[in-house]
Amino acid sequence: MQFWIIQFLNSLALGGLLFLLSSGFSLIFGLMRLANLTHGAFFMVGAYIGASLLRQRVVGMDLWLAALLAGIALAALGGLLERLVLRRLAGNSLGQVLVTLGVAFILSDACLLVWGGDPIPVPTPRALARPIFFAGLAFPTYRLVVIVVSVVVAVGLHALLERTRIGAMIRAGVDDMPIARAVGIRVSRLFTAVFCLGAGLAGAAGVLGGPIFSAYPGLDADMLPLALIVVILGGVGSLAGAFVGSFIIGAIYTFGSTLFPDLAYFILFLPMIVVIAYRPEGLFGRIAA
Amino acid sequence: MSRASLILALTALVALALLPFYAGEYFINLASQILIAAIFASSLNLLVGYGGLTSLGHAAFVGVSAYVFAWLTTHAGAGPAVAAAAALVGATIVACVFGLVALRATGLGFLMITLAFSQILWGLAYRWASVTNGDNGISGIPRFSPFGLSLDGAAAFYWFTLALCVIAFAAIAAFASSAFGAALRGTRDEPRRMAALGHDVRLIRWITFVYAGFWAGVAGLLYVNYNKFIHPSAMSITNSAEGLLAVIAGGSGTLAGPIVGATLIMLLKNYVSAYVERWNMLLGFVFVAIVLIAPDGVIPGLRRAAARIRGGRK
Amino acid sequence: MKMNRRDLVQGVAASAIGALAPAAARAEDGGPIRIGLLTVKTGPLASGGIDMERALQMFLKERGDQLAGRKIDLIVADTGGVPATARTKTQELVERNNVHCLIGPLAAFEALAIDDYIRQAQVPTLSVAAAEDMTQRHPNPWFVRATSTSAQCAHPMADYCARELKYKRMITIADDIAYGHEMCAGFQRVFEENGGKIIQKLFPPLTAPDYGAFVADLKTDADAIFLGFAGSNGFRFLRQFVEYGLKDKIQPVGGMTALDESVLRNMGDEALGIVTSCWYSAELQNPINQKFAPAFRKQFGYDPGFYAAATYVEGAVLEAALKTIGGKAEDKPAFMKALRDVKVDTARGPVSFDAYGNVVGNVYIRKVERKDGRLVNSIIKTYPDVSQFWTYDPKQFLANPVYSRTWPPAGNLEK
């Protein structure tokens, strides 16, 4: 019983982090039909920025502020990338692959240059560093907080999409781009805004995941496939899909690696293959990937 | 093929054939590796460029072919010729099976499902250690000696690779320019219309997938014979991505594009890296620059430039 | 042979005479000796690879870029940690740069990828990679390894855990690669032969970003857990281990890379008190290391660890061999024989080689302590002159299969 409770909480925490990572990817793909293969690198740069900010011991700096600042920094970087490069490549999906992977190479090598090859911790907030004890079980407090944060972010994003004007425009764009243009939505600005939002979410997620993952070379390559899997499983462009997909993958990863260690290398891919083959639009998506 | 490009291709071929007479052993070996990468990229180009199917798992076929050859020659005592044939059959069969499932998707879904298949094989290579020797890889693999000719020397292996390369390019070019190739391009540009015209879009794509898998298997065979060693990293995402990047950077859907792209990447990775410490970053910048200058790749970009110059002279 | 003052004087005299003698008399081609360093400077393994280059350059600089009276040219190649690239780079060093010897590579699979080429091209190679069979069942005649095999430091660690720490029931966990398998297998063998039981063996995939599921699965009634990780993985595992409040329940101990100096400098109090074994520590108090470690720290701002010490020690072995043959690196068989016959004091202590080209040297049991504000691996016990075969007879040792996931079989695992 103990095993199931702890691993269930584990899978929720991992799922929460995956949602923070993949929601941005999903939004960008849904609106712009752009598979942003730089997303893992954004996450890693975020983690490194968070680690640096928190190690400088600046007065008043804490994990949440660092996440915000890293989010803003990555949003700015994403905005630049979108304005300067990606917008010239609308509809050129191969060019997008080349450029987003190219930028991912640049960022990951730049991280090695700036931060070196050794892993750097992102400190856990002091108040959350001790595990929480209940019913004879110990569970990391910070991971519980991550679950809460991911739900809060999900609710916030949902509200943004459903209750605001920009959200309505994004939804219109996801559903039918020509109509959105026809009714006078300034799609160009919308693209930049969404790309900034997605990149910023990835950067902030890097900081929030930092106390668990740390910042290390290769974090980008470890995370990008996870984001892709989540989004494909849940359905591209669907926030609910990213949310549910994240927790499904979190659960499969957690239970799979302990219950079926021999399948550790492929267990994440099997459900995805089934979904793509038999429900190409994903569990919640309306458009085929 | 226009007359000018035919002359260009023939000149290049002669220069390549004579390479061992004027280049050192290191450059001969480097050239062999470039040719292998070019075959791999060209086979992927059938899917990406002509079929509009972006695969991120094409290295799986390189790996299957290489592992079959390695295992048969080192563990089962098979002769290199038998092992080579089995390796190609193996890669083709795997392509047949994967194609059936993968082609249920297109676009990002296809990219992900091919990635998933290659990752599964990669994981298998790591974990099925009784056969693959896991992370230690299989070493001590003998090179094959076609018609009794030893390929142990750098030049001999290079010539053999060059010959296979010419055959591969001819076969791929013939495929692309055939009526079937035209139908394939049709499925890329107008899949619904092609279906309405009575073409079996899935079948066309599947045949292409299998054909591309076969030629990737040829590349894998050369790869394992060149390295005499095989490790799961041959099937990594990185290797698949490198092939894909070569196709796109050089110009997808052109015959010369993947060759140019593969040459570019192999030179940066293996040659320039001796002089430029941050070669990964340089590679990234080269990709971005290519996209900004020639969004559809080097070869189409050059063609446009050439047309502009000719147009300017008139 | 310990290096005493007389040897030193002789050595200096020999090289002085060498320097005066005409170039042609010293060596056939008379030019500099070219050393190729195969290392990793990009990608996830870059941390160790960069240290390898830094320490070797330091070693050469201290000697005015001269060994045995001949000028040294160092050519550094970045393999990216990819086997196929390692092979290409080796060819480049041998065929284009005409190196006289190689130092490196870093990773076992890189060494295996170039194994047959080294034999064919007959290049003396001073390996850093730990792959067991390179100096065991398939010994490469052109290899010497002054660092250790995967399990060479795990054997004494297991001995220490069983006899001194009196652990009875232990868990092993390591990366799911040959290095991790071999290290845990060696640990298990010695630990169980000394009355201990390995009750759980875990091998998380190399690319696992989150160890939470594995940490939560650990058997909390074990006495201790042996960490066989390398690189950033041990670092991340330990943080997550502490996160789950397990450090009070299961005592972690480690292999030679789990708490390396390069990882330690980014760690906090969670590392304090952890015992590990390695053939080196920046804290070693021998005359050579007392100069090397502070100098390295002064130049780069951190303590040298496994990889830095690796090339610094290989450098010393190389120098000793070159001195024996009067700098004639062109005579490959003589060079190779000299390398294998080396007996020299190095930063890790005295070094010599067994019949298979693998080092016989001290292994140190170390404990993480805080000193001058930074975390260090203080030495608490020395196992002198440890061989790759531990206390076993080499013939019997080699009659067994190579250490792996499945050998020796784990008979005491608890469900």
Q: Which of C116, C119, C120, C179 to mutate to test the interface with B (most CBs of B within 10 A)?
A: C116
Cβ–Cβ below 8 Å for A272 and B112: yes
The first and second tokens of residue A78, run together, are 């994403």
Chain C interface includes A214 (CB < 8 A): yes
DSSP-assigned letters across all residues of C14-42: HHHHHHHS-HHHH-SS-SPEEEEEEE--S
Last residue of a domain, one of C315, C345, C361: C361
User: What is the helix (H) or strand (E) element at residue C67, kind and residue range?
Assistant: strand C66-67
Per the domain annotation, does C410 fall within a domain? Answer: no
Residue C167 lies in a domain: yes
Q: What are C195's two structure tokens?
A: 């009355």
B283 at the A interface (CB within 8 A)?
yes
We report the CATH number of the domain holding residue C231 as 3.40.50.2300
**pTM summary value:** 0.92
Residue C320 φ then ψ, to 5°? -60, -40
Percent of chain C whose predicted confidence (pLDDT) is above 70:
93
Pairing state between β C344-346 and C197-202: unpaired
Domain identity same for C52 and C139? yes
Same domain, C186 and C251: yes
Q: How far apart are CA A61 and CA A52, in angstroms?
A: 11
Which tokens in the block code for residue B277? 């410490």
C405–chain B Cβ distance below 8 A for any pair: yes
Q: CA of B280: which chain C residue's CA is closest? A: C42
* pLDDT averaged over every residue in chain A: 90
Do C43 and C119 lie in one domain? The reply is yes
| Number of Cα atoms under 13 Å in the Cβ half of residue C244 | 25
Residue A286's pLDDT band (boundaries 50, 70, 90)? low
- Give the pLDDT band of residue B6 (cuts 50, 70, 90): confident
Residue type at A106? Answer: I
Task: Tell which of B227, B237, B238, B239 to mutate to test the C interface (max C CBs under 10 Å).
Answer: B227
> If you average pLDDT over residues A51-76, what whole number do you get?
91
Residue C6 pLDDT greater than 50, yes or no: no
The more confidently predicted of residues B274 and B215 is B215
* CB contact (8 A) between residue B26 and residue C178: no
Q: Could you tell me if A95 and A89 are in contact, meaning their C-beta atoms sit under 8 angstroms apart?
A: yes
Confidence tier at C1 by pLDDT (50, 70, 90): very low
Domain for residue C84, yes or no? yes
A-C Cβ pairs (cutoff 8 Å, strict): 120
Tell me chain B's radius of gyration from C-alpha atoms: 19
Which chains would you list as touching C if contact means 3+ CB atom pairs under 8 Å?
Answer: A, B
Verify that C180 and C213 share a domain, yes or no. Answer: yes
Q: Work out how many domains chain C is built from and give that number.
A: 2
How far off is chain A from C301, nearest CA to CA, in Å? 13
| pLDDT > 50? residue C16 | no
The pLDDT confidence band at residue B313, using thresholds 50, 70 and 90, is low
What residue ranges define each of the domains in chain A, with the CATH number in brackets?
Answer: 8-278 (1.10.3470)
Q: Which of C43, C85, C95 sits opposite B25 (nearest CB)?
A: C95
What's the gap in Å between the CA of B185 and the closest CA on chain C?
35
Q: What is the full DSSP assignment across A50-62?
A: HHHHHHTT-TT--
Q: Which domain holds residue C308?
A: 5-150+285-361
CA dihedral C138, C140, C146, C150 (to 10 degrees): -30
* C347 neighbors C288 (Cβ within 8 angstroms): yes
Report pLDDT digits (tens) over C159-183.
999 999 999 999 999 999 899 999 9
| Spatial distance between the Cα atoms of B228 and C115, rounded to a whole number of angstroms | 10
For residues C247 and C392, membership in a common domain is answered with yes
Q: Does A269 touch chain C (CB under 8 A)?
A: no
Whether the Cβ atoms of residue A71 and residue A46 lie closer than 8 Å to each other: yes
- B117-137 tens-digit pLDDT: 999 999 999 888 889 998 899
Q: Does C41 touch chain B (CB under 8 A)?
A: yes
pLDDT of residue A288: 56
> Given this model, what pLDDT does residue B241 score?
94
pLDDT of residue A9: 92
C208: nearest CA partner in chain A? A222
- Per DSSP bridges, beta strands C359-371 and C275-278 are antiparallel
Q: How far apart are CA B187 and CA B180, in angstroms?
A: 11
Put simply, the chain B residues between 256 and 295 with a CB less than 8 A from any chain C CB are 269-270, 273-274, 277-280
Q: Is the pLDDT of residue C15 over 60?
A: no
Domain that holds residue B117: 3-313
Model confidence at B145, in pLDDT bands (50, 70, 90)? Answer: confident
On whether residue C409 sits in a domain, the answer given is: no
A8: distance to nearest CA of chain B, Å? 25
* C316 CB-near residues (< 8 Å, 6+ apart): C59, C288, C344, C345, C346, C347, C351
Flag if A261 and C203 touch (Cβ within 8 Å).
yes
Copy the structure tokens of residue B231: 């490790």
* Residues C181 and C43 grouped into a single domain: no
ipTM, two decimals: 0.91
Looking at residues C119-125, what average pLDDT do you find? 95
CATH number of the domain at B57, please. 1.10.3470
Q: Which of A238-247, B5-14, C179-188, C320-329 has the lowest mean pLDDT?
A: B5-14
**pLDDT for A230:** 93
Contact state of A213 with C210 under an 8 Å Cβ cutoff:
yes
Please give the mean pLDDT across all residues of chain B.
93
**What's the rounded Cα separation, in Å, for the pair B27 and B18?**
12
Considering the domain boundaries, does residue C404 fall inside one? no
The Cα of C237 is separated from the nearest Cα of chain A by a number of Å equal to: 9
Q: What is the three-class DSSP state of C354?
A: coil
Q: What average pLDDT score do residues C18-45 get?
A: 69
Burial classification of residue C130, based on how many CB atoms lie within 10 Å of its CB (0-12 exposed, 13-18 middle, 19 or more buried) = buried
Report how far residue C100's alpha carbon sits from residue A214's, in angstroms, rounded to the nearest whole number: 41
**Of A214, A221, A253, which is closest to C239 when you measure between CB atoms?**
A214
pLDDT in tens, C44-54: 888 899 999 99
Q: What is the dihedral of CA C328, C330, C336, C339, to 10 degrees?
A: 40
Q: Are residues C247 and C391 in the same domain?
A: yes
- pLDDT tens-place string over residues C203-237: 998 878 789 899 988 999 999 999 999 888 888 99
DSSP state of B50: I
Contact A269 B120 (CB under 8 A): yes
B41: chain A residues, CB-CB within 8 Å: none
Q: Which of C313, C344, C361 is the last residue of a domain?
A: C361
Number of domains in chain B: 1
Count of Cβ atoms closer than 10 Å to residue B182 Cβ: 11
How far C117 CA sits from the closest chain B CA (Å)?
9
B159: left (phi over 0), alpha (psi -120 to 50) or beta: alpha
**C177 and C91 together in one domain:** no
pLDDT at C2: 39
Are C79 and C191 found together in one domain? no
pLDDT band at C276; cut points 50, 70, 90: very high
Number of helices (H), then strands (E), belonging to chain A: the values are 11, 2
Both C245 and C328 in one domain: the answer is no
CB C363 within 8 A of CB C153: yes
- Tell me, yes or no, whether C105 lies in a domain: yes
User: Cα(C285)–Cα(C267) distance, rounded to whole angstroms?
Assistant: 24
Q: State how far the alpha carbon of B33 is from the alpha carbons of B271, C91, C200, in Å.
A: 12, 12, 44
